[in-house]
Chains A and B, each alone.
Chain A
Amino acid sequence: MMRSPGSDVVVSALREQLREVIATCVAPPIRKELVNLLGRPGYALHAGGSCRAGTLALDVHGAVFREPPGRSALLAAAALELQMEAAYLFDEVADAAPDARRSEDLALAIALLTAGGAAAVEAAAFSGDPAGALRHFCMDYNEACAGQFLDAMLQRRGQATFEEALQMTCLKSGGLGKFVTGFAARIAGVDPDEVILFEQLGRDTFTLAQLVDDMRDACTHGRDSDLAQRKATLPVVYFRQRIDSLAPIDGMLFPELHQIYESSGAPLYAAILARAYMSRAQQDLSQLARRAYAVGGLGRFLESVESGAEEILGAACGGLVA
């Protein structure tokens, strides 16, 4: 592995580590099923899968050690990626209509969680404080679980305040970012005072990414849009508090609702919040650089999120602002 963390070579090593964890920590009858699952589009073993959690964890390792990852860093990255994949799977099951595959996928989600836990135990053995690292591993993932719960609860309730929507977003996705960078930093032996800086970067970067994703999904066509599903994302909450009488009927949106959504100010509202979190993440990165961490890989990770965000943030203002 001669190239920097985040490169194809490192992602290949991460995928190899994921396969090893599955081969050694998962019960034989479902190993093949888990590999097949992670080979679905978007998941970690698919050729186009981004492995965001694992690569971010390896970027934290690169920031601390300035060298390619060894076994402990790869195990930690695999552990984090497996937890992230479990969260993806849970979210997919939660959002999809019930079908015969649902129970199987839920069982596989739990298998991913426990395999990730096993990898985390092995990774933590390399750290100076294994019990402390594992305690944070569990507690921080719990934040994301709390966010998933709030997401479902607020959607079922059918209404949410702005503060509740922000709390859900920060817990659900920001919590995962904190979980990733915090555990990777602890395994790398970062001083506790400075682990917080890595956690802030993870939290703000993932919150930014989620806000952009929420803007993208708010008013797409069909039943899958967040607006049609009455999700409690910030742009949807803004829209519904301003233009409640045009709420969707039977999960379908009026064709003209897209134009009304665009001009409601909801995309601009979410864009301003996303831009604020982008600034926070950039400041977090600067703080790490000032403490002499090699933040090149982390900077590239943030840039990859920003490059997806800039266009949609700019488009959010089109025709509305003067």
Chain B
Amino acid sequence: MQVSALADALAGVRTSDSTISMRKLQGWLSGAGLDELARAVSLLATSLNRAPRQEPPGDDEKPWF
């Protein structure tokens, strides 16, 4: 997965007020041929504003690593 390219893309689409346009980010990634990441941005955008912040797992729930 193109993790450096994604980091560059995020920096590239930030506006002067520090917000990030998901649409611009998706377009940037698609234009760079990073279709898997572009799809991930699209799917993530659809989940925005409908997810409350989650509390950390309780003591009984083992984290991964």
Contacts and interface: CB of A to CB of B under 8 A. Distances in A.
B59 to A, nearest CB: 5
B31 interface: no
Interface residues of B, number: 40
B14 A87 contact: no
B54 interface: yes
Given A41-B60, A213-B65, A315-B53, A273 B45 contact: no
Given A165-B3, A313-B51, A242 B11 contact: yes
B42 to A, nearest CB: 9
Contact of B10 (A47, A234, A265, A311): A265
A48 B60 contact: yes
Contact of B63 (A172, A217, A268, A269): A217
Contacts of A47: 60
A279 B60 contact: no
B20 interface: yes
Contacts of A315: 51-54
Contacts of B3: 162-163, 165-166, 234, 273
A276 B51 CA distance: 18
Contacts of A42: 59-63
Interface string A148-175: 1001000000000111011000001100
B63 A213 contact: yes
Interface centre among B6, B14, B40 (most CB of A within 10 A): B40
B21 to A, nearest CB: 5
B63 A318 contact: no
Interface in A121-173: 148, 151, 161-163, 165-166, 172-173
A216 B41 CA distance: 19
B51 A314 contact: yes
Nearest to B41: A272
B65 A322 contact: no
Nearest to A208: B64
Contact of B1 (A91, A166, A268): A166
Contact of A313 (B6, B19, B44): B44
B44 A317 contact: yes
A48 to B, nearest CB: 3
A310 B46 CA distance: 11
Given A234-B3, A279-B43, A311 B61 contact: no
A43 B62 contact: yes
A165 B1 CA distance: 12
A321 interface: yes
Contacts of A209: 64
A30 B10 CA distance: 52
B27 to A, nearest CB: 14
26 contacts: A41-B59, A42-B62, A48-B60, A48-B61, A52-B62, A166-B1, A216-B57, A216-B63, A217-B63, A220-B56, A241-B7, A269-B10, A271-B44, A272-B37, A273-B6, A273-B40, A275-B40, A275-B41, A276-B36, A276-B40, A308-B54, A312-B53, A315-B51, A315-B54, A321-B19, A321-B45
Interface of A: 41-43, 46-50, 52, 87-88, 91, 148, 151, 161-163, 165-166, 172-173, 206, 209-210, 213, 216-217, 220, 234, 238, 241-242, 263, 265, 268-269, 271-273, 275-276, 278-279, 308, 310-315, 317-318, 320-322
Nearest first, the 8 closest Cβ-Cβ pairs linking A and B are A314-B51, A48-B60, A42-B62, A276-B40, A162-B3, A275-B40, A311-B54, A213-B64
